[in-house]
Structure 1
Amino acid sequence: MAFQKPSHTFTKIHLKALRTNNFKILFALSFTVFINTLSFAQDIKPKQDSIKPVVEEKLVIKADSTAITETIAIEQDSTVTDSIKPKKELLEHTVTYHADDYTRFDQKKQKLYLYNNARIDYGDMNITAGDITIDYNKNTVYAKGVKDSVGEYTQKPVFTQGSNVVEPDSIIFNTETQKALIYNSKTEQGEGTVIASVTKKENDSVYFLKNAKYTTAENLDDPEYYIKLRKAKVVPGKKIVTGLANLFIYDVPTPLGLPFGFFPQSEKHTSGVIIPTFGEQNNRGYFLQNGGYYFAISDYVDLAVLGDYYTNGSYGIRMESAYKKRYRFNGNFSFRFESLINSERGFPDYSKSTIYNLRWSHSQDAKASPNSRFSASVNLGSSNYYQQSNNQVNVSNRLNNTLSSSVSYSKNFQGEPQVNVSLTATHQQNTQTQSINMTLPTLQGSVGRMYPFASSEGTKKGLIQNINLQYNLRGENRISTTDSLFFKKEMFDEAKAGFQHTIPLSTNFKVFKYFSMSASTNFNEVWTFKTINRSYDLEEDDEVIETVNGFDSFRTYNFSTSLGTTIYGTKNFEKEGEDRKIKAIRHVIRPSISYNINPAFDQYYDTYLGDEVIDADGTTRRELLEYTRFEQSLFNTPGKNFSSSMGISVSNNLEAKVRDKDSTATEPKKVVIFNNLNFNTSYNFAGDSLQWSPVRMNGGTQLFQNKLSINFSATLDPYALDNNNNKIDKFNINNGGSLFRLTNGNINASWSFSSKDGAGSREDKNIEENLRGGGRADDLFGVAEDFSNQQYEDEEEDEDKTPSEFYNFKIPWSLRLAYAVNYSNSRRQNEISSHSLMFSGDIELSEKWSVGASSGYDFKNLGFTTTQLRFERDLLSWRMNFSWTPFGSYKSWNFFIGIKSSLLKDLKYEKRRQPDIQL
């Protein structure tokens, strides 16, 4: 049975080799130099007139008070030649050995002893131990630890080659047969460690283990869990074959195990089976979920194909893929399809439905191509996918009413002027009305701003030199359809296409030194490929609208100018000899007045005779109606009426300087009173009534060191209402009322704060799933739980922190609040249209325990909104969590306990109650 790991998302279980195949080489090569001292070369009869090589042997012994280091070197006269070419030296690196206490050679027993911090180095291989003995008679090397003054076994052997490290209690190695026995070894293998009581190295490619343990625990002396392999055969880099293996938790055996196992082994990610999760769902029977196959396509891309099956006939298919090329691009793709059956055939509540969801995210490295960029963010599918899907509980996305997608490519052509071109496909889907709007595609092009009258020096001054113009092109193929017609040929029946050309011409200059003035005119031309023709059929007593295919166009233009300035005001409160809390208040005012002219383009309007009407004197006649054939154009319609209007706006910014609480601060502290406070309205000179537009006000501020953000807006109408609550051309103050009527207003506030150390304000790992599905970037509506993609990442622990596992006296926490209230009074209804408070928070009761909740209260309807409770326990190598939605239409719960390591992620237990089906 094989467990596989699909890249970052799916898991395989594999055990790497206990050590590399070169383990034997260390001892064979390290001690050959000593064997050579007792050996003789084979005699070869020299040819006549040959010159015998002169060989000198030098023994260099270097000793000090703490160590003895020996190096044997053979030097040969470079001027002497031999008719027989010498063989390549066996030792390619210098062999050195060292011991703190002594290095002793027993001539009678033919043994070399190294004692206390014994060490041998050869190339990238190294062995250290308390005691190393080489027996030249038996061709064996024995390395072990030593006991210290208190009787503890210390200086255990450590073998290192490259990044591989083996830490046994002792080693016996035969330099002739290349076999070895290793006792109580500990070897890191990927995310885990193999602990074997006895390891036998048969040859370069086969190892046998007895009573071995595999664990990802940090405490190897007392691991909280391990998989016990009573007998195992390891072929490094290829496979591990085991006999009976089962899971132990704190040395207590569990029935979770296998009579035998085969674990493929590879340094690279490989293809293989993904083990499914089993369980029961009340309305669909027993199920197998998230089982399938993982395809390791290449080092840059992978693919996992997963499936679900329920005993009532429901099923699901999913494809998940992730890809990445360093310094170029990265992304992920997923497609999910589910065929859901409710109840049993023949029962009145029987139903069958299919849902799907397609998501694609692609981002390009900014350095990959400076002048071009491709990006994608796609989330489309069935409008009720998040409400009905069996394989996730995503409250945040269930409450989201919009799915959106965008795929774009843009390129910049450097030069003067710069030319920009982009091609974009977009998708907007309302999950409530199931309406879909798409652009396939949108073409945009622009030519950079040009200054035809600017001086060659680069400095633009005055009215003429600041004259500039641009060119913009926009073309669209827009499709409006519904969920039921999506991806069917009927969706293209009502498609509309068109182009818009825009040439803005503008300039700006100073007036009276302190005023900035700008003037602009805009030429607009629209091309369309469909127009309409209206008529009235008296026989059918109905209006007839005919679609006329063919190219047509219209052109419009307008003129606008604006005048503005900035006024600074500062009020100082400081007096000599006083240290007041408020030092000064600074007020910045930016008033602006604008004037706009839009001519009437009535040449694009036609008339037709409508239905028969009877006028006041009893005469019957047909009504003359006016229309434009460009009514269904993508880019608005030409204006029929002349417009001449003036706009007035005032923006404010208010700040204060106060005494800093920090006594060491040398400057006052700046406090923002209002980030912005804006007012704007307009007056239409060409209008015959209701010439003033309502005054719109909006503003915002931040309090408590920018932790509390408040935004507000209101609309003030100067005109009165009649008895039928319709607006009339009479000022409200002249009708017995106030200067303005408050027609609507809203206040939004958000507050995010945590304990001083900030430890409780961690971002949940499932927030990313919220965003991918179009949900919120916070947990105010809860966090997503995707059962097909349970990811658990090991969190970095602070080694300096050693709090109790049972009680954390600091108790880190975080809290997020969102408050919103909306008021409506446009027709004297005088009501609060919506009023709610959303909140979410997390508390770390201890280093290992954390709880969280997301909920809200609707003050208008007097009830709690969708609520989610979360509990999580860090069990060292394991993780346990429980999430619960206790009430509402999405009532559900989910319990999970499993190993953190992605290598053993399939060792888990999961139980859940899914929400009721939403039809």
Structure 2
Amino acid sequence: MGLLLCASITTAQQEDPLHANDSLYGEQNLILPDTLVIKPDTLRGQDSLIIIDSLSAYNEDQAPAISPNALQFRVDFKSIDSLHFDMKNHKVFMYNEATINYDDINLKANYVEMDFNKTEIFASGIPDSTGKERGQPIFVQGESEFRSQTMRYNYESKKALIQNVMTQDGEGTIRGDVIKKMPNNEANIKGGSYSTCPSCENRDFEFRYFKSKVIPGKRIVTGPAYLVIEDVPTPLFLPFGFFPIRQGKNSGILIPSWGESTDRGFYFEGGGYYWAINDYIDLKIVGDIYTGGSWAVKPSTRYKKRYKYSGAFEFLYAINIVGEEGQSDYRRDRDYQIRWQHRQDKKARPNSTFTANVNIRSSKSNYYNPTTAQDYLSNTFQSSVAYQTSFSGKYFLTLNANHSQNTKTKLMTLTLPEVSFNVNRLYPFRKQNRSGSMKWWEDISVNYTANMKSTVTIADSLLFQSETWDQVQNGIKHSIPINSSVKLLKHFTWTNSINMTDRMYLKTIEKNWVDTVFSGNDTIPGYVREDTISGFRNAFDANFSSSITTRVYGMFQFGKRFPVQAIRHVITPKVSFTFTPDWGDPYWGYYKSYFDPILEEDVEYSIFEGSVYGSPPRDKSGNVNFS
């Protein structure tokens, strides 16, 4: 282009008479000063910068044009059988499990034909040896998915013509004989149906229509439509159809199911309202009602916060009436269910965890209101709620709540709460910046453990009654072991320990013998009466143990001629002594007695009998062990 530009400049100079005279004059006498002046002016007029700009202008204006048939995005395609390129007609043929990815489009079929002249893709299945068509097209664009018999798609206009198609939109299944897909993903259907049946293959019920328009994620509008059940048309006819399509969480009314129960009559079950509160929690309130008078209300909620926690809570309260009032088979039961599941993400709090799996119910609720088939067949249910945490890696706290229930015996055991607190081993006399050898008292260690528990075993029908809490057994237990280890004569280890335990209770018992009572013709034989005494009492006990141990090493050598050249053995002899004082002495008041005239002797008992952590040992004991 630089040559062409120079040529045009030379032509212009020749047409100018002034420049023509100067040039001719310069050519006749090249040594004239005027000629030298004219030539620099000419060079200044033809600046080299202008030549560079002209090359840049050429790259922008004269760049090769892009073919109108060129693709706008990269195409990835493959097939298992074969690929055939028709370069003359600009076509590609793919056979057997062909896959095409283009922009947000994914197409799978056993036969695919790409026509670059028409910017079209045609897909269909291929008949197998039995004549059945296999590998029919599956077309996905964005969130829309179509399964069809044949499909023709223009990837430039983004329009498609699809035959015998089925697609999911929201919770509904849409079918059509012929569908024309528009660039905005709207679809015009000729000869189709719409159903909310969860099974895509079994068409239990559906609305059939002649024409319709589908606006994805919003609505389906149809012309005249009629209801079909089990492929049998019904006389239920609609002049037009309007089916809203919603995705994600949406509040709304829940339509109940209906039927008949042999014991409780006709019913409506599961009707109510669903409330999508926000992205983290929802609420569903449904109920059941029976013509025999039974009813139930079942609120439930789910919650989830990513990287924090998730769970669900369900509650059921029901009145179940069987038979007619006044008849011998009449029965009225009040039933309940409480289910709670909670999970904490491990990333939320590395030093603490909280989990819950609660399943509490009355004995009859499993029969009338089972949630799963497994619940219906089970008669034992358990629950647990646990929280664990640590402080500075030295102090550990555990909180538990447990429940076990047998619907056959109708007994329930609750442990609420159970607390455990532990402290790592401490050396109270050891200096942090110690220098020199360790003194014997610096090796004294102390541990501490505290436990607390409240438990009760009752009939499940008394769970929410006030007398339930009168039967609760509770207590607190403190354990403090003190240990010391001393080296004797360099080869012996002398270990001493004192174990102290303190139990705290809010109830004690008192037993007395009640003599036989004669009242008219009735006789009440003598018996032991047990009374519960409310009030705080603690029970302290301790024991002392001491042991001396050492290690003796020996070796027996066989020599190099034997496969086993030597045997090394270690002997650890140990002598230990344990002493427990008499905590049954009347001074402590832990044990009392009453006279039994039948046995004709005093019967001793502990005032903490039946408590969760038991009683201190009654008799003095001392043991010496050799090992």
Specify the TM-score bucket, using the shorter chain as the normaliser: 0.5 to 0.7
- Check 1:147–1:293 CA distance in 2 against 1; reply closer, same or farther (3 A cut): closer
Instruction: From 340, 357, 361, give the equivalent of 2:337.
Output: 357
2:290 corresponds to which residue? 310
> Amino acid of the residue matched to residue 285 of structure 1?
G
Q: How does 1:122-201 map to 2 (within 5 A)?
A: 124=104, 130-131=114-115, 161-162=141-142, 164=144, 169-170=151-152, 182-184=161-163, 186=165, 188-189=167-168, 194-200=174-180
> Amino acid of the residue matched to residue 635 of structure 1?
Y
Say if 2:389 is the partner of 1:411.
Answer: yes
**Number of residues of Structure 1 aligned to a counterpart in Structure 2:** 508
Say if 2:532 is the partner of 1:553.
Answer: no
1:502 corresponds to which residue? 479
2:419 corresponds to which residue? 443
> 1:207 Cα shift?
3.6
Q: How does 1:681-760 map to 2 (within 5 A)?
A: none
Deviates more, 1:505-514 or 1:463-472: 505-514
> Amino acid of the residue matched to residue 189 of structure 1?
Q
Classify the secondary structure of the residue corresponding to 1:199: strand
2:466 corresponds to which residue? 489
2:29 corresponds to which residue? none
Contact residue 426 and residue 439 of structure 1 kept, 8 A: yes
Unaligned stretches of 5+ residues in structure 2: 1-56, 78-83, 127-132, 518-525, 552-571
2:50 corresponds to which residue? none
Task: Report the Cα distance in structure 2 between the residues aligned to 1:123 and 1:336, rounded to whole angstroms.
Answer: 50
2:28 corresponds to which residue? none
Contact residue 247 and residue 256 of structure 1 kept, 8 A: yes
1:472 corresponds to which residue? 449
- Check 1:122–1:278 CA distance in 2 against 1; reply closer, same or farther (3 A cut): closer
Say if 2:348 is the partner of 1:372.
Answer: no
> 1:173 Cα shift?
11
1:637 corresponds to which residue? 615
**Residues 429-460 of structure 1: CA distance to partner in whole angstroms, max 9, x if unpaired?**
34454344433323321111235688989xx9
Task: Report the Cα distance in structure 1 between the residues aligned to 2:360 and 2:574, rounded to whole angstroms.
Answer: 43
Task: Report the Cα distance in structure 1 between the residues aligned to 2:492 and 2:368, rounded to whole angstroms.
Answer: 60
Say if 2:506 is the partner of 1:529.
Answer: yes
1:600 corresponds to which residue? 582
> Amino acid of the residue matched to residue 485 of structure 1?
L
- Check 1:372–1:267 CA distance in 2 against 1; reply closer, same or farther (3 A cut): same
2:307 corresponds to which residue? 327
**Residues 851-880 of structure 1: CA distance to partner in whole angstroms, max 9, x if unpaired?**
xxxxxxxxxxxxxxxxxxxxxxxxxxxxxx
Classify the secondary structure of the residue corresponding to 2:366: helix
Task: Report the Cα distance in structure 2 between the residues aligned to 1:274 and 1:610, rounded to whole angstroms.
Answer: 67
Instruction: From 225, 241, 249, give the equivalent of 1:244.
Output: 225
Task: Report the Cα distance in structure 2 between the residues aligned to 1:262 and 1:60, rounded to whole angstroms.
Answer: 53
Say if 2:38 is the partner of 1:60.
Answer: no
Task: Report the Cα distance in structure 2 between the residues aligned to 1:273 and 1:511, rounded to whole angstroms.
Answer: 82
Contact residue 207 and residue 226 of structure 2 kept, 8 A: yes
Task: Report the Cα distance in structure 1 between the residues aligned to 2:124 and 2:415, rounded to whole angstroms.
Answer: 77
**Residues 680-733 of structure 1: CA distance to partner in whole angstroms, max 9, x if unpaired?**
xxxxxxxxxxxxxxxxxxxxxxxxxxxxxxxxxxxxxxxxxxxxxxxxxxxxxx
> 1:552 Cα shift?
2.9
TM-score norm. by structure 1 comes to: 0.45
- Check 1:527–1:211 CA distance in 2 against 1; reply closer, same or farther (3 A cut): same
TM-score norm. by structure 2 comes to: 0.62
Q: How does 1:272-291 map to 2 (within 5 A)?
A: 272-291=252-271
Task: Report the Cα distance in structure 1 between the residues aligned to 2:74 and 2:531, rounded to whole angstroms.
Answer: 95
Task: Report the Cα distance in structure 2 between the residues aligned to 1:549 and 1:156, rounded to whole angstroms.
Answer: 80
Q: Which has the higher contact order (CA 8 A, sep 6+)?
A: 1
> 1:144 Cα shift?
5.6
> Amino acid of the residue matched to residue 461 of structure 2?
S
Classify the secondary structure of the residue corresponding to 1:605: coil
Q: How does 1:899-910 map to 2 (within 5 A)?
A: none
Deviates more, 1:187-196 or 1:368-377: 187-196
Contact residue 511 and residue 594 of structure 2 kept, 8 A: no
Classify the secondary structure of the residue corresponding to 2:64: strand
> 1:512 Cα shift?
14
Task: Report the Cα distance in structure 2 between the residues aligned to 1:255 and 1:467, rounded to whole angstroms.
Answer: 90
Task: Report the Cα distance in structure 1 between the residues aligned to 2:513 and 2:589, rounded to whole angstroms.
Answer: 17
Say if 2:326 is the partner of 1:346.
Answer: yes
Task: Report the Cα distance in structure 1 between the residues aligned to 2:297 and 2:375, rounded to whole angstroms.
Answer: 22
1:233 corresponds to which residue? 213
Task: Report the Cα distance in structure 1 between the residues aligned to 2:203 and 2:333, rounded to whole angstroms.
Answer: 44
2:11 corresponds to which residue? none
Task: Report the Cα distance in structure 2 between the residues aligned to 1:271 and 1:528, rounded to whole angstroms.
Answer: 52
- Check 1:609–1:70 CA distance in 2 against 1; reply closer, same or farther (3 A cut): closer
Task: Report the Cα distance in structure 2 between the residues aligned to 1:383 and 1:509, rounded to whole angstroms.
Answer: 60
Task: Report the Cα distance in structure 2 between the residues aligned to 1:146 and 1:628, rounded to whole angstroms.
Answer: 87
Classify the secondary structure of the residue corresponding to 1:636: coil
Classify the secondary structure of the residue corresponding to 1:60: coil
Contact residue 535 and residue 608 of structure 1 kept, 8 A: no
> Amino acid of the residue matched to residue 421 of structure 2?
G
Contact residue 483 and residue 496 of structure 2 kept, 8 A: yes
Larger Cα-atom Rg:
2
**Residues 782-808 of structure 1: CA distance to partner in whole angstroms, max 9, x if unpaired?**
xxxxxxxxxxxxxxxxxxxxxxxxxxx
> Amino acid of the residue matched to residue 389 of structure 2?
K
**Residues 861-909 of structure 1: CA distance to partner in whole angstroms, max 9, x if unpaired?**
xxxxxxxxxxxxxxxxxxxxxxxxxxxxxxxxxxxxxxxxxxxxxxxxx
**Residues 12-64 of structure 1: CA distance to partner in whole angstroms, max 9, x if unpaired?**
xxxxxxxxxxxxxxxxxxxxxxxxxxxxxxxxxxxxxxxxxx996446268xx
Task: Report the Cα distance in structure 1 between the residues aligned to 2:86 and 2:156, rounded to whole angstroms.
Answer: 25
> Amino acid of the residue matched to residue 582 of structure 2?
A
Classify the secondary structure of the residue corresponding to 2:467: helix
> 1:143 Cα shift?
6.8
> 1:198 Cα shift?
2.8
> Amino acid of the residue matched to residue 179 of structure 2?
T
- Percent identical among aligned pairs is 30
Say if 2:363 is the partner of 1:383.
Answer: yes
Task: Report the Cα distance in structure 2 between the residues aligned to 1:561 and 1:546, rounded to whole angstroms.
Answer: 41
Task: Report the Cα distance in structure 2 between the residues aligned to 1:120 and 1:359, rounded to whole angstroms.
Answer: 48
Task: Report the Cα distance in structure 2 between the residues aligned to 1:372 and 1:210, rounded to whole angstroms.
Answer: 60
> Amino acid of the residue matched to residue 330 of structure 1?
S
2:9 corresponds to which residue? none
> 1:524 Cα shift?
0.4
> Amino acid of the residue matched to residue 244 of structure 1?
A
Task: Report the Cα distance in structure 1 between the residues aligned to 2:507 and 2:194, rounded to whole angstroms.
Answer: 71
- Check 1:376–1:165 CA distance in 2 against 1; reply closer, same or farther (3 A cut): closer
Contact residue 593 and residue 605 of structure 2 kept, 8 A: no
- Check 1:278–1:502 CA distance in 2 against 1; reply closer, same or farther (3 A cut): same
Q: How does 1:56-95 map to 2 (within 5 A)?
A: 57-58=61-62, 60=64
Task: Report the Cα distance in structure 2 between the residues aligned to 1:224 and 1:348, rounded to whole angstroms.
Answer: 46
